[in-house]
Amino acid sequence: MSEHQEEMSFWDHLETLRWTLFRCVIALVVFTVGSFVFLKYQFDAVILAPCKSDFVLYKLMCKVTSSVAFLPDFCDESFKVDIVNIKLATQFFIHMSTSFWLAILLTFPYLMYEVWRFVSPALYTHEKRNVRWVFFFGTIMFFVGCAVGYFMVFPMTLRFLATYQLGEIIREQVSIESYMDTFFMMLFIMGIVFELPLLSWLLSQFGLITRSFFNRFRRHAIVILLIAAALITPSSDPFTLACVFFPLYGLYELSALFVKKKKIELDDDDDAEKTEITKYEAD
């Protein structure tokens, strides 16, 4: 703990927290208002873009899957999801709530910076250096996860569910509430999932997990990730399942790289290396 932190009283901490929350609220209000103003002109082009056949993922998948017969068809230009509104005031409230969630998404780096400013006085110098990179890396991974959710996971989920038909006389129409709930749920879930390497690193710093944990439970993790991928994209074809599974499994392996080995594990590796050298010299 730093000297400045030791000199601060409880009321000083409370005052610092109050101003931190105040700045966060101001940033959210400003970005919410800005999102509310510009959202109406970008709603169709960005948020509702996966409802149309010309979405960037569908065009890319069309080029990839068109030459392979057993892969799902993404070249159907007639694909379109009809979004309907039932209640009179729903569109206005969706406009407000969407502006707020977008504000949280856009101000995420600043919110993380405010958290860093609040907790940094309580850290030692070497801890500040490490945590600074943790916040930086965590912010990047959150946005990468949201991008994966927007460009891959949500469109695939939407396309499967929107084209799934229980009966021929049933006409598929998606309510705006259902669409927006699924949209933001996928984005934030993927953003949080991509924080797994950061969480693993933090747990390793506290000595709660080591790299042997990932090696021991790799087979269990593969099964769990397959189930998670099946729940995220409830598609019957293995291609769509694989498109979600492999990024999740990549995060698992990346998390293992961020975790330190136990000292005994390092000693075992050194002993094994010495054994190999001795064997080579004997030969």
- Give the tens place of pLDDT for each residue, 55-75: 988 888 888 777 666 566 677
pTM of the model: 0.76
Gap between the Cα atoms of 146 and 98, Å rounded: 15
Nearest to 197 by CA among 116, 109, 256, 245: 256
List residues bridging with 175 in a β-sheet: 84
Average pLDDT of the chain is 80
* Residues 157, 155, 43: CA angle, nearest 5 degrees: 125
Q: Are strands 83-84 and 174-175 parallel, antiparallel or unpaired?
A: parallel
Record the tokens describing residue 94, joined without a space. Answer: 């969706």
Q: Residues 118, 24: contact at Cβ < 8 Å?
A: no
- The region of weakest confidence among 151-155, 205-209, 214-218 is 205-209
The CA–CA distances, whole Å, from 46 to 94, 135, 265 equal: 15, 28, 49
Q: Which of 5-14, 98-107, 198-207 has the highest mean pLDDT?
A: 98-107
Confidence band of 263 (pLDDT split at 50, 70, 90): low
* Residue 235 or 141, more confident: 141
* Residue found under tokens 């990468």: 144
Gap between the Cα atoms of 283 and 277, Å rounded: 10
Gap between the Cα atoms of 194 and 239, Å rounded: 21
User: How distant is the alpha carbon of residue 25 from its chain centre?
Assistant: 23
Q: Does position 80 have pLDDT exceeding 70, yes or no?
A: yes
* Residue 27 or 166, more confident: 27
Please report which helix (H) or strand (E) contains residue 83, including its range.
strand 83-84
